[in-house]
């Protein structure tokens, strides 16, 4: 069933898995596939399988709004995401596939004095940690985005904005397919329609996975299953500070003019970008209640559209073409959880929530290094699972709000 996608090198689809691998990665989303790619390219580990329950990129990676940014609020997060943002710039060269990467900048509007203080602080800590973010006045904002209503429809007047100059977007499916093809060409087995239904135990350690086709032995099992991580980790006896919440998004018909920047507001919790085809892509806050339902809802559309049309009135003239939802692994402190779990042979990359697309290159690179060398690189040390037990949270809710 190989379907050619533009000029991407074809992916090898093995008929069945081998009985044993050095590394089994569960979940064929961006994080699972990039980890496989870096295992093969940086560490020459190719006796590796990626097992995907459905088809690859069918999870959040294929449903996200593709915003890449590093304007977080804490040094640990800024450094990690800035590294990933820089990896994205060179990704076409690295994987040899067009990913339609575009640096457009992101403006985060502030509508109260409190939000102005938050955005000023963001600019300072971003600058100190190597991300380019500056405060701009309403007049300067109007130069960047002429379509904006500075009165916010009378409801949300704009007092200023932080301008993250390196904010970008890229085609989500091409990123993931590029990693998949690169890994596959080097010998990694990618198996679709292969759900992992349990784990194989050997004493205290995890030594493989159970599938409907039988067990597969593994030196290391990495969970990269997005919103379904709680159930998989439970098979290893690992409990996680994760709740699964749906996030919705929608896209309009073509807008003939250019939107000069990605526009978002952490205060209103909504954001909009323009796709390479000219459509307007809009998302907002995740559902208050946890759920595994990917049904998109009218109430979410209404709430998102209300806020965005206040800031960008031209959106009223457009029509909603499609809407969808993904189920996101939201961690308690709104930061990722990467690395060891306390159970030998079982690692996780999770807590990617509504913000993990931008992290696919750096997350995969770091997890591959940890698997290959047994040591977590310094960049991801702050994101260990045991930070909760040690009371060393990376609490950055305010920066996660707009993806």
Ligand X SMILES: Cc1cc2nc3c(=O)[nH]c(=O)nc-3n(C[C@H](O)[C@H](O)[C@H](O)COP(=O)(O)OP(=O)(O)OC[C@H]3O[C@@H](n4cnc5c(N)ncnc54)[C@H](O)[C@@H]3O)c2cc1C
Residues that bind other proteins (CB under 8 A): 228, 230-231, 239-244, 246, 287-293, 295, 297-299, 332, 388-389
Q: Which is nearer to other proteins, 314 or 388 (CB)?
A: 388
Q: Residue 223 pairs with which residues in a beta bridge? A: 26, 348
Give bridge partners of residue 331 from the DSSP assignment: 242
Q: How far is the CB of 247 from ligand X (least distance, A)?
A: 4
Largest distance between two CA atoms of the chain:
65
What is the C-alpha to C-alpha distance for residues 329 and 240, in angstroms, rounded to an integer?
10
Instruction: Label residue 153 left, alpha or beta by phi (over 0 means left) and psi (-120 to 50 means alpha).
Output: left
Distance, CA of 351 to CA of 330 (rounded, Å) = 5
**Residue 352 contacts ligand X per CB under 6 A:** yes
Please list the alpha-helical segments (H only) found in 146-283: 172-185, 229-235
Task: For ligand X, give the closer residue by CB, 160 or 379.
Answer: 379
Q: Which does 289 bind (CB under 5 to 8 A by kind): ligand X, other proteins, none?
A: other proteins
**Nearest distance in Å: CB 244, other proteins:** 6
Angle (CA) 144-149-152 rounded to 5° is 125
x-marked contacts with ligand X along 62-101 as a string, rule CB under 6 A = -xxxxx----------------------------------
Nearer to ligand X, 136 or 221 (CB): 221
Should residue 53 be labelled a site residue for ligand X when binding is judged by CB under 6 A?
A: yes
Sign of the Cα pseudo-torsion (354, 358, 361, 363, in order): negative
Q: State how far the Cα of 89 lies from the Cα of 281, in Å rounded to an integer.
A: 22
Residue 167 binding target from other proteins, ligand X, none, CB below 5 to 8 Å by type: none
Query: Which entry of ligand X, other proteins, none binds 218, CB below 5 to 8 A by partner kind?
Result: none
Question: By the 8 A CB rule, do 200 and 207 touch?
Answer: yes
- Residue 244: contacted member of other proteins, ligand X, none (CB under 5 to 8 Å, by partner type): other proteins
298 binds, among ligand X, other proteins, none (CB under 5 to 8 A by kind): other proteins
Partnered with residue 323 across adjacent β-strands are 250
Partner whose footprint covers residue 242, from other proteins, ligand X, none (CB < 5 to 8 Å by kind): other proteins
How near is the Cβ of 82 to ligand X at its closest, in Å?
Answer: 13
Closest to ligand X by CB, 63 vs 310, is 63
The three-class DSSP label of residue 364 is helix
For the bound state, the minimum distance from the C-beta of residue 247 to other proteins, rounded and expressed in Å, comes to: 13
Instruction: Find the binding residues for ligand X in span 94-153 (CB under 6 A).
Output: none
149 vs 273 by CB, closer to ligand X: 273
* 168 forms part of the interface with ligand X (CB under 6 A): no
Among 35, 61, 266, 341, binds ligand X (CB under 6 A): 61
* Residues contacting residue 204 through CB under 8 Å, at least 6 positions apart: 343, 344
Name the token pair of 127. 């600058």
Residue 356, binding choice from other proteins, ligand X, none, Cβ under 5 to 8 Å by partner class: ligand X
Q: How far apart are CA 120 and CA 118, in angstroms?
A: 6
Query: Which three-class secondary structure state does DSSP give residue 63?
Result: coil
Out of 160, 283, 361, 401, name the contact with ligand X by CB under 6 A.
283
111-115-120-123 Cα dihedral, nearest 10 degrees: -90
* Least distance CB 350 / ligand X (angstroms): 7
Using CA atoms, how far residue 79 sits from 72, 259, 287, in Å, is 9, 28, 29
Site residues for ligand X per CB under 6 A? 26-32, 51-54, 58-61, 63-67, 195-196, 224-226, 228, 232, 247, 249, 283, 326, 328, 352-358, 403
């Amino acid at each position: 069933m190989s379907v050619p996608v533009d000029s991407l090198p074809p992916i090898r689809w093995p008929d069945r898995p081998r009985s044993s691998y050095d590394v089994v990665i569960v979940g064929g989303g961006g994080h699972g596939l990039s980890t496989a790619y870096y295992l093969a390219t940086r560490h020459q580990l190719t006796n590796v399988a990626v097992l995907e329950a459905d088809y690859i990129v069918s999870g959040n990676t294929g449903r996200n709004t593709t915003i890449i940014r590093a304007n977080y609020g804490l040094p640990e997060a800024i450094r990690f995401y800035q590294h990933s943002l820089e990896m994205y710039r060179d990704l076409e060269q690295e994987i040899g596939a067009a990913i339609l990467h575009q640096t457009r900048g992101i403006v985060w509007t502030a509508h109260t004095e409190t939000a102005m203080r938050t955005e000023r602080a963001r600019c300072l800590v971003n600058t100190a940690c190597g991300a380019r973010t500056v405060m701009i006045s309403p007049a300067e904002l109007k130069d960047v985005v002429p379509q904006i209503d500075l009165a916010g429809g009378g409801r949300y007047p704009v007092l200023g904005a932080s301008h993250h100059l390196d904010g970008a977007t890229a085609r989500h499916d091409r990123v993931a397919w590029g990693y998949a093809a690169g890994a596959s060409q080097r010998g990694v087995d990618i198996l679709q329609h292969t759900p992992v239904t349990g784990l194989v135990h050997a004493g205290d350690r995890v030594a493989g996975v159970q599938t409907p086709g039988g067990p597969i032995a593994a030196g290391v099992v990495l969970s990269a299953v997005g919103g379904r991580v709680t159930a998989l980790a439970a098979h290893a006896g690992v409990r996680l500070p994760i709740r699964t919440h749906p996030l919705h998004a929608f896209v309009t018909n073509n807008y003939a003019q250019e939107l000069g920047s990605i526009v978002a507001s952490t205060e209103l919790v909504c954001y909009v970008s323009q796709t390479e085809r000219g459509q307007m892509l809009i998302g907002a806050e995740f559902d208050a209640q946890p759920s595994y339902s990917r049904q998109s809802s009218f109430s979410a559309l209404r709430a998102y559209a209300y806020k965005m049309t206040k800031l960008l009135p031209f959106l009223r003239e457009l029509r909603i073409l499609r809407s969808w939802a993904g189920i996101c692994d939201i961690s308690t402190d709104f930061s990722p959880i990467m690395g060891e779990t306390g159970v030998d042979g079982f690692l996780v990359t999770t807590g990617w929530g509504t913000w993990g697309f931008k992290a696919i290159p750096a997350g995969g690179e770091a997890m591959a290094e940890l698997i290959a060398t047994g040591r977590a690189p310094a960049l991801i040390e702050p994101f260990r699972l045991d930070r909760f037990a040690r009371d060393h949270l990376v609490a950055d809710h305010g920066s996660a709000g707009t993806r």
